[in-house]
Structure 1
Amino acid sequence: MRILLVEDDRTIAAGLCYSLQAEGYQVEHCATCAGALEQVEAGGWDLLLLDLTLPDGSGYDICRRAKALGDTSVVFLTACDEEVSAVMGLDMGADDYVTKPFRLRELLSRIKSVLRRSGRGGGETSLTFGALTICPQRAQVRFAGRELALTALEYRLLLTFAAHPGQVLTRGQLLEGIWDVAGNFVNDNTLTVYIKRLREKLAAAGDEGRISTVRGLGYRMEGE
């Protein structure tokens, strides 16, 4: 599933891109209306996630153009004082809106609901790394056809690694990736324990060495 995120706040955008990729979505970010319109013209998007107020235009402009070109799903991200305007956006064809500040799980739930209604959410998207396969829609992990029994935190940690194969992830980035599942119960010390357990389960299944330590920087999941 391909999502175009249009958000001029780069801190928010970075967090959303990271979290959406960890859920298995392909995400492209634009910070301006002009850049987003170019991407919309190019096509191929399953969903547009649009900030309403942009430095060179409005999310309305992007929504209007997207709906003129096809039936791409649209979800608005709005500030509290823009809520009435967002409802107006629904009248021009937007599928939903979420008011800032929002919880990540709420946003993901809204996205999945919109994609289901549009008929785009029914297909299975798998992440494959050699004999290791992750199915985000079913929260299932298999190695050489055999299912791996992971806890929710271990699964979320693996999914975070899988969204960035070959990249070095800091401990802070990994904590952000599993924060939504564990809340305040995961800290820097317990992260070490979960990484150790995940490595042990992968090794027991025959996938030893998948997650490596990059001394002084963080950890990396090897892709194939």
Structure 2
Amino acid sequence: MRILLVEDNADIVRTLTELLRSEGYNVEATPSQDGAITLGTRVEKPFDLVLLDVTLEQGNGFAVCGALKEARPHLPVIFLTASDDEFNTVAGLSMGADDYIAKPFRPRELLARIRTVLRRSQPTQHLLHLGSVIVDPARARATKDGRELDLSAVEYRLLLLFASKAGGIVTRDMMREALWEDSGAYVEENTLSVYIRRLRDKIEDDPANPQLIRTVRGMGYRAAE
């Protein structure tokens, strides 16, 4: 697997490159927007995943993400953000990033996030998993512990969204977009909360202490792996 590291801090580049190569990944790094777009959109030796910092030596991570997603919509992107930078985190996810990890981060956590994003990006994976819940998109069917779940169209669409983002963040804007076809109109904040509560009632072992769909204050929800 080839990883493009877009980061302008030389110490972070050195540390992450050593870590990723020790895990068998092929890593190339660039500190600038132009360099990232050139490398990330090349045809020969394409990358399987991009680790992308928001602040760069030249340009910014948002422009890089937009350009890469336009050229290669299915290229996974993980944003590297400051721990208290909620605005940039939400903005990155809204632009199509697949996940984010806040600095400073633990090496094992970063590796786990990379594996999760790479796994769900593989086209051969037909069944989607959200913890013990299995979603079969081809049959529009979901099961938990072998038992088929009785879901409404809205609940199924939400579950499909969370399962496709397993291990990552799902913003409320993502939820609205997923539900647009069912509602045909803007979905209010309170309505989203009601949908989440109903879905949790059907898939969580303990809806009062959810493990499959966890609330992330200010951003939305994190889907279980």
TM bracket (short chain): 0.5 to 0.7
Q: Could you state the TM-score of these two structures normalised by the residue count of structure 1?
A: 0.52
- How far apart are 1:46 and its partner, in Å? 0.5
TM-superposed CA distance for 1:121, in Å, is 9.6
Unaligned runs of 5+ in 2: 126-225
The residue aligned with 1:167 is none
Determine which of 80, 83, 87 is the counterpart of 1:80.
83
Alignment of 1:25 onto 2:28:
no
* Superposition CA RMSD, Å: 1.6
**Matches of 1:76 and 1:16 in 2, distance apart?**
14
Displacement, 1:30? 0.4
TM-score by length of 2: 0.52
Structure 1 stretches of at least 4 aligned residues deviating more than 6 Å after TM superposition: none
- How many pairs does the alignment contain? 122
The C-alpha deviation readout for 1:149-202, integer Å capped at 9, x for no partner, is: xxxxxxxxxxxxxxxxxxxxxxxxxxxxxxxxxxxxxxxxxxxxxxxxxxxxxx
Equivalent-residue separation in structure 1 for 2:124 and 2:25 (angstroms): 11
State the identity as a percent.
49
Contact persistence 2:31–2:58 (CA under 8 A): no
Structure 2 match to 1:40: 40
Give structure 1 stretches of 5+ with no counterpart.
123-224
Match of residue 132 from structure 1: none
Mapping of residues 141-220 of structure 1, within 5 Å: none
User: Aligned AA for 1:17?
Assistant: T
Aligned to 1:69: 71
The alpha-carbon deviation at position 32 of structure 1 amounts to: 1.1
Q: Secondary structure of 1:81's partner?
A: coil
1:45 aligned counterpart, secondary structure? coil
Instruction: Report the Cα offset of residue 79 of structure 1.
Output: 0.8
Q: How many angstroms does 1:119 deviate by?
A: 0.9
What are the equivalent positions in structure 2 for 1:61-140 lying under 5 Å apart? 61-70=63-72, 71-119=74-122
Determine the C-alpha separation between the residues in 2 that align with 1:100 and 1:120: 30
Inter-partner Cα distance in structure 2 for 1:57 and 1:80: 21
